[in-house]
Amino acid sequence: MREDEKKSKGLIVLIVVIALIVVLFAIFTPIGLKHLEENRRTNDIETAKSIADKVKSDVASGKANIVVGTPVVANSDTLPELDQQPYAEGDAVEKGAPFTYYYVKQGDSVAVYIGDDRTYNLINPSQAEQYKNK
């Protein structure tokens, strides 16, 4: 085999390998991004549950003056148990928006939303699932 044929064969193999890597990257990138976004939304749901638990415990202990039936941004001013301001990670509603909660005295229930969007109550299991899978 001549030297020129060896070089051209090696170049062809290299091009094929690079093309294969590009195709695999193009196939698996959207799948990875979808799972990453699902994880972000799952974190949002867990944060919402944590906020609801903190609201209920603050109401029970009398630590916070919870406003009934009014939207309140969840932060350390409104919930002393919060160390830092929680922000939404997922893109389904508004990434980076603060969580807002409503406390309903009757039934001692809490609804937690992202920002001003009232589409998904992240404490409601069916709405949380819709948010996660949007």
Decide: 50 and 74 in contact? Cβ < 8 Å.
Answer: no
Whole-model pTM: value is 0.77
For 111, the 3-state DSSP assignment is strand
d(CA 85, CA 54): 13
Task: Write the pLDDT tens digit of every residue in 53-93.
Answer: 998 888 888 776 677 777 889 988 888 888 889 999 998 88
Sheet holding 99-104, edge to edge: 72-73, 99-104, 109-114
For residue 115, give the nearest of 134, 77, 87 by alpha carbon.
87
pLDDT class for 33, splitting at 50, 70, 90? confident
Domain boundaries, the chain: 3-129
CA-CA distances (angstroms) from residue 5 to 10, 14, 17, 89? 9, 14, 18, 54
Average pLDDT score over the chain: 87
